[in-house]
């Protein structure tokens, strides 16, 4: 009953942005709004260059999320793992802040003896299981990503399988960038089921620019702005209302 | 990949070095590395002349979750599936706090190597043991989750199957977070990742299939059809076919039900070896019993049979050896 909503952006890309705002600056804005950004860099036979690597790490860092570079074959496992890990991280962050208020002098979970930490961790696990989750998936569909898109689709289906096994509700939406006319294009509106991802998805690809920064900025506007993360710990009136209906 | 590198650097300890706990002050001497997982390195350690396994990690979250699981494992009565938990503590290494926990050291062969050495006839027997342990775990409200041959160890001298990695263990009704694609029913499109007893039973089915396909294989999108075709292609899997079909499609409500069917399969195999197939077929209905206790009795039954066979064999062997000795002496 104490579950709130965790909001994440999952950025799947294979390299550097080359258009518009600095992506890590946009990630910082997301974080301010309580939205975590995770970044997965997908490689196949190609390698992501140093600059791309740095950017991927920096976006996740600014966005308070997790980043990982993987080969396309391992994408499913990674998408699931990264999402899960970021959820735990966010919840832990909230709990740490609460602990600091209770214990004072900037103490965190790590300063507790292992047994107590275990008890706190049970609460974290519990919240991770019962919280609502909203993941906005942002897929880079620039030319080099084209042959990786079927794998990306599979991994997204796999992600919804994992997340829907939780007790809390999960909702996803899918955006691609660059879009046909704009920097970013909506493919799928908020839905619990990614099966709806069309058959055309793997065939999408547009050449040219990679506007990662503008894509993140645009994506942020699709989250409803409400409540702070502290809502995770307090009783959530809105959910109560929804459930009683 | 990058994470693993930093993990390795931080948690790397040489043989002979000492790990001292910050809270309990216990001291462990590193003997060797046993294995390296996604979120930690496991060492064989020694304290007061006893061996333990110690897992060291730079990721406090996952290791604490595992510690919680191990603790609740030890509350499951009569289950010896996982290692028993000793203590958890922190190790300060050059200013950085690395959490660790200490557990029982389970010594033995890993499952696949054991089967390779002893022969595939052991698969059934070990799966019987595993299903019994799983049943106890399920009754207590837990699902193992990440069941796979790599996580199974066969101890000796009494061959007993144990599990070494409990990171995937999940409360029934929650989502399984640690799994391996080949053994995960979600991957094959044959069910959700919500923890229920059927999730583990699916994995048991896949372990049996894995023994016939050591190289494993990937899904082709056909779901159950693909698995069924591959089962049909291996004659060592044919006796298990009915049971596998039910396990893979989630038709067993409990581990005990699956165990009963496995007992039937195994006793059938024994009979067909001894008396030919026709009689085995007529015997089948009597060994297939719905309740637990009866299943256990029928298993004892087959054990006795096997014991009797062994006794006869031993007697014959001893007598013929004496006879050979006698002849040998006569010749001299």
Q: Do B23 and A109 touch (CB under 8 A)?
A: no
pLDDT(B272) > 80: no
| Burial tier of A209 (Cβ tally within 10 Å: 0-12, 13-18, 19+) | middle
Mutating which of B101, B185, B186, B199 best tests the A interface, going by the most A Cβ atoms within 10 A?
B186
Encode pLDDT of A63-121 as tens digits: 999 999 999 888 998 999 999 999 999 998 998 888 888 877 767 888 889 999 999 99
Top pLDDT among B11 and A99 is at A99
ipTM value, please give it. 0.85
Q: Which residues of A65-104 are buried (b: 16+ CB within 10 A; e: fewer)?
A: bbbbbbebebbbbbbbbbbbbbbbbbbbebbbeebeeeee
| Length of chain B (residues) | 332
Strand partners of residue A35? A7
Q: CATH 1.10.510.10 region(s) of chain B?
A: 108-253
Catalytic residue among B58, B89, B90, B146: B146
Q: Which residues of A touch B88 (CB under 8 A)?
A: 114-115, 118
User: A136-174: per-residue pLDDT in tens?
Assistant: 999 999 888 888 899 999 999 999 999 999 999 999 999
Which ranges in chain B are annotated with CATH 3.30.200.20?
A: 2-104
What mean pLDDT, rounded, does chain A reach?
86
What's residue A90's pLDDT?
A: 92
- Give me the domains of chain A, ranges plus CATH numbers: 5-244 (3.40.50.410)
The yes-or-no verdict on residue A2 having pLDDT over 80 is: no
Mean pLDDT throughout A1-21? 85
Bridge partners of B104, per DSSP, are: B52
Question: What are residue A2's phi and psi, to 5 degrees?
Answer: -100, 15
Cβ distance of A121 and B61 shorter than 8 Å? yes
* Phi, psi of A185, rounded to the nearest 5 degrees: -130, 135
Query: Cβ contacts (< 8 Å) between A162 and chain B: which residues?
Result: 175, 177, 186, 193
Instruction: Enumerate helices (H) and strands (E) in chain B, giving the number of each.
Output: 10, 11
Average pLDDT over residues B211-228: 94
Between chains, do A161 and B193 touch, taking CB under 8 Å as contact? yes
pLDDT, tens digit, for every residue of A179-237?
888 889 999 999 998 988 877 788 787 777 889 999 999 999 998 754 455 555 554 44
- Identify any residues that bridge with A11 across adjacent strands, giving them in sequence order: A39, A138
Contact call for residues A206 and A141 (beta carbons, < 8 A): yes
- Rounded to the nearest angstrom, the gap between the alpha carbon of residue B99 and the centroid of all alpha carbons in its chain is 27
Please check whether residue A92 touches B, CB under 8 A. Answer: yes
Contact residues, chain A, for B101 at CB < 8 Å = 114
Identify the DSSP state of A245: -
Strand pairing partners for B27? B20
Domain B108-253 sits in CATH at: 1.10.510.10
Catalytic-residue membership of B110: no
Q: Please tell me the distance from the alpha carbon of residue B247 to that of residue B261, in angstroms, as a whole number.
A: 10
The CATH superfamily of B2-104 is: Phosphorylase Kinase; domain 1 (3.30.200.20)
d(CA A1, CA A87): 18
């Amino acid at each position: 009953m104490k579950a709130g909503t965790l909001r994440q952006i999952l950025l799947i890309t294979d390299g550097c942005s080359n258009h518009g705002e600095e992506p890590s600056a946009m990630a910082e804005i997301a974080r301010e709004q309580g939205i975590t950004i995770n970044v997965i860099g997908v490689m196949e036979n190609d390698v992501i260059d140093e600059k791309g690597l740095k950017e991927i790490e920096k976006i996740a860092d600014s966005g308070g999320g997790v980043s990982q570079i993987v080969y396309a074959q391992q994408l499913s496992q990674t998408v699931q793992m990264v999402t899960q890990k970021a959820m735990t991280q966010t919840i832990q962050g909230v709990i740490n802040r609460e602990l600091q208020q209770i214990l004072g002098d900037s103490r965190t979970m790590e300063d507790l003896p292992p047994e107590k930490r275990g008890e706190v961790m049970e609460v974290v696990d519990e919240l991770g299981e019962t919280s609502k989750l909203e993941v906005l998936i942002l897929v880079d569909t620039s030319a080099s990503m084209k042959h990786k898109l079927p794998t990306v689709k599979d991994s997204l289906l796999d992600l919804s399988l994992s997340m829907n096994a939780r007790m809390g509700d999960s909702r996803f939406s899918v955006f691609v960038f660059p879009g046909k006319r704009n920097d970013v294009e909506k493919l799928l509106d908020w839905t619990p089921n990614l099966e709806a991802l069309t058959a055309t998805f793997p065939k999408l690809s547009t050449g040219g620019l990679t506007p990662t920064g503008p894509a993140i900025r645009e994506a942020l506007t699709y989250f409803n702005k409400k409540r702070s993360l502290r809502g995770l710990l307090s009783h959530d009136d809105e959910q109560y209302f929804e459930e009683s209906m | 990949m990058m994470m693993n590198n930093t993990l390795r650097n931080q948690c790397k300890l040489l043989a002979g070095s000492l790990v001292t706990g910050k809270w309990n002050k216990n001291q462990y001497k590193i003997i060797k590395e046993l294995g390296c997982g996604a979120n930690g390195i496991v060492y064989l350690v020694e304290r007061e002349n006893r061996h333990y396994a110690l897992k060291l990690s730079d990721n406090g979250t996952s290791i604490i979750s595992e510690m919680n699981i191990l603790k609740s494992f030890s509350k499951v009565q009569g289950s010896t599936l996982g290692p028993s938990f000793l203590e958890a503590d922190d190790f300060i290494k050059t200013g950085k706090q690395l959490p660790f926990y200490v557990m029982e050291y389970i010594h033995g062969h890993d499952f696949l190597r054991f089967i390779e050495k002893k022969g595939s006839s052991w698969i059934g027997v070990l799966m019987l043991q595993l299903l019994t342990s799983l049943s106890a775990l399920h009754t207590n409200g837990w699902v193992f989750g990440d069941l796979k041959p790599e996580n199974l160890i066969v101890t000796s001298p009494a061959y007993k199957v144990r599990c070494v990695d409990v990171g995937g263990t999940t409360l029934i009704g929650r989502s399984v977070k640690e799994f391996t694609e080949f053994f995960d029913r979600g991957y094959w499109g044959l069910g959700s990742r919500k923890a229920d007893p059927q999730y583990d039973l699916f994995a048991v089915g896949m372990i049996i299939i894995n023994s016939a396909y050591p190289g494993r294989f990937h899904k082709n999108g056909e779901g159950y059809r693909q698995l069924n075709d591959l089962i049909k292609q291996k004659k060592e899997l044919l006796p298990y076919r009915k049971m596998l079909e039910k396990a893979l499609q989630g038709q067993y409500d409990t581990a005990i039900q699956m165990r009963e069917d496995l007992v039937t399969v195994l006793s059938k195999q024994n009979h067909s070896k001894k008396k030919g197939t026709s009689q085995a077929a007529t015997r089948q209905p009597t060994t297939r019993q719905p309740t637990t206790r009866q299943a256990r009795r029928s298993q004892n039954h087959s054990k006795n049979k096997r014991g009797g066979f062994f006794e006869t064999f031993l007697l014959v062997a001893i007598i013929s050896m004496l006879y050979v000795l006698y002849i040998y002496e006569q010749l001299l």
